[in-house]
Amino acid sequence: MNIAWYFFFFLVSGFCSLVYEVVWLRLAMAKFGVTTPMVSVVLSVFMAGLALGSLAGGAIARRTERRGAALLLRLYGAVELLIGLAGLLVPHLLNLVFGLMKAGAGQLVWDSASYYLLSGACVVVSLLPWCTAMGATFPLAMAAIRSTSSLPSERSFSFLYLSNVLGAILGTIIPAFLLIELWGFQSTLHLASSFNILIAGTVLALSFTVKSLAPPEPATSVAEIQSQPRLYDFAAGGSLWLLFITGLCTMAMEVVWIRQFSVYLGNVVYAFVAILAVYLAATWMGSFLYRNWARTNHPRESVKAWTFLGILALLPLLLIDPALPIKGTFLGAVLRTAVGIGPLSAALGFLTPLLVDHYSAGDPARAGRAYSLNIVGGIAGPLLCGFLILPLLGDRWGLVVLSIPLFVIGLFAVIHEVPQAATFLATAASKPMYAITILLAFILVTYTNNYQASFTDRVEMRDYMATVVAANDNGQKRLLINGIGMTTLSPITKYMAHLPLAYLSRPAQNGLIICFGMGTTFRSMLSWGIDTTVVELNPSVPKLFPYFHADAAEVVMSPLAHIVVDDGRRFLERSSEQYDVITIDPPPPISTPTTSLLYSSEFYAVAKKRLRPGGILHAWLAIRDPGWDLSTQTAFAKALRDSFPYIRVFPSLGGWGFHMLASETPIPAMDAVSLAQRMSPQAAADFVEWNSPLSPTEMFASILQKEQQITRLASTRPGIPAIQDDRPINEYFLLRRMLGPFP
């Protein structure tokens, strides 16, 4: 059997695996919340399945490879078939387990500890079996290669790894830049599923034509393993520790990179795609170089790669420095990212298959064990970084701490480098080169800055969700999350409370705000003297309330004030409370990842259940200039129109977006005078706080006279569907921006 078949299989399989990871994560977030712990649970289950599958697949391969190539191929084909079926079944499984959890656990499920325990169990049931099947593909295919190919199999892992990473690059770019925008998540998932099923059918057909070679030699004995030349003079099994540590450091650094480079890439889906694509492309290049290098070199000659690994890990400190003269365009940001993380990713792309090849020598069981250790490190890294390193140290010093193990390994490798007669001078140069990297590290840490340094008057807070900065920028107070500006002190956020409360046909008892921001809407709603709850995803954001408002401490102490740290949609799912007014102010820009979960038809269906009869929902469409993308405006308006029978739409101050009031009962037309008369003196004073020359009547009149019809906004692009969980029109926009609006 031609070995090119295996390259093709793993190319396609790598594509599908990335599609599954992205889509399954999104489906789980829609059900269980967009909190960091929940995201960590999903990704950990995904990677744990890969690790378990790698171990299990190795054990199965060892027991069956002497029974012939046909059986091995059929086992491999069966695994690919299971993966393909997963693409069809997982969405239904997530819906099923979520429904059972809600129905069977009652309110107990929403307690923090019990919620994550039960939701984690739901994710395990839904994802783990299929992810385990994905992990089993490597050792099973390696065993099949040993049985069907006359080519040397000692480096079969790196051969498959090279193909798989190339497929992962395609699985990162094509869905994000093309498929999801055109088809949505479910159809993209079905495409990946059909590819896996196609692989399974092809493998099954080939299994009837293949001829087995002579049975492979028995697995290497323990004595033979211990007698093998040591790598960098590490003890036997040292390669496993190296794989674990590099997996941990690399995946932890990915968390840091997202915080560092999003400042330049922007708060859009494509920013995360760019980071992942750069990482995978550089990894592929490193693996490709290793495949060529290994033809004429021994793994023990790879010390140079370890010498520079630590300093490459610190390279982002230079590339995120605002003083670096790179244009502030998206391409400039991609350049920063590529130069910042590409060299380290390429080095690890070189070393990871090298370590697995050296440890396994083509033995599928040993390769499975080695790769599973690398994956376990990849599970531990993000958890350690997200919940400990970043909250305590921040991205800058967190990166320094994560580079230390790489410097230590480099030092150990240099000290124990085995001199080679032909390369003695090169060997002798390793120690001075390592010393130079230490000097360069000192320079990078001492003389570079990040974006926060540009604000002299600032308060910085860090937690497991983000780095949050409250700053005074040339006299204007700003709130930044991971370097992205969220909001300013604007009367627009006051309208979000006063407009729906004034339109309410009865005195309000309570209100709910989703997204805290600077706390302006929260403060304004409390001025009506009603019970007010605000839900904020990021725990540090409410703590900065006093930076923006002098009376924040007094406001928070009110018995009517309630601040909840939670995912807004999840809070509505778990709440049994009903509200007179619900106002929603998702973070800008409107294309921010996962914001569609607060704009979709499914979200409005949940929100309606929490509105008291006659209540009003205020939805904020934050579009400054919709001209380039009327499709997003249309999709937003359609989702709201399809969810509520009565809607009033008012353009905001300066044309900055739309205030939309939605209800299950009619919202009568009212003039500005009537609305102002419904306000208490405290509410009126709050409303004009930053527009003191104007009266409340004039404030209302400034937007009422521009009222628009929801039917007009919803019909601008007739062919565009409403925003749904499956069709996040607002988040995926690149084709529309490049090629023009769709019909």
Structural domains of the chain in order of their starting residue, each with its CATH number: 1-212 (1.20.1250), 226-436 (1.20.1250.20), 492-739 (3.40.50.150)
Q: Are 82 and 133 in contact (CB under 8 A)?
A: yes
Among the listed residues 228, 515, 496, 220, the one whose alpha carbon sits nearest the alpha carbon of residue 366: 220
Q: How many CB atoms lie within 10 A of CB 492?
A: 20
Alpha helices in 429-535 (DSSP H): 430-447, 492-503, 520-526
pLDDT tens digits, one per residue of 181-195:
999 999 999 999 999
Task: Please give the pLDDT value at position 422.
Answer: 42
pLDDT tens digits, one per residue of 319-335:
999 999 888 788 899 99
The rounded average pLDDT for each run of 10 residues, N- to C-terminus, in the chain (743 residues) is 88 96 93 85 92 92 82 93 95 91 61 74 94 94 81 76 95 95 95 97 91 52 51 72 94 93 89 94 95 84 86 96 87 94 96 89 87 94 92 93 95 74 53 91 94 86 90 89 87 96 96 96 97 95 96 96 93 90 90 92 96 96 69 94 96 88 95 96 95 91 93 89 94 86 61
Task: Please give the pLDDT value at position 625.
Answer: 56
Q: Distance between terminal CA atoms of the chain?
A: 48
Among the listed residues 727, 605, 631, the one whose alpha carbon sits nearest the alpha carbon of residue 186: 727
Distances (CA, A) of 271 to 264, 363, 588: 9, 39, 15
Task: Please give the pLDDT value at position 743.
Answer: 55
Among the listed residues 305, 158, 300, the one whose alpha carbon sits nearest the alpha carbon of residue 234: 300
Task: Please give the pLDDT value at position 427.
Answer: 53
CA distance 526 to 585: 17
**544-549: long-range contacts, CB 8 A cutoff, minimum separation 24:** 544/459, 544/461, 544/468, 544/470, 544/479, 544/518, 545/516, 545/518, 545/519, 547/459, 547/470, 547/477, 548/470, 548/477, 548/479, 548/489, 548/518, 548/519, 548/520, 549/518, 549/519, 549/520, 549/523
Distances (CA, A) of 601 to 531, 613, 638, 718, 726: 27, 19, 9, 17, 10
Task: Please give the pLDDT value at position 450.
Answer: 87
Task: Please give the pLDDT value at position 213.
Answer: 52
This prediction has a pTM of: 0.90
CA distance 316 to 445: 11
Distances (CA, A) of 486 to 202, 490, 523, 526, 541: 51, 12, 17, 22, 11
Tokens at 112, concatenated: 């923090």
Task: Please give the pLDDT value at position 114.
Answer: 73
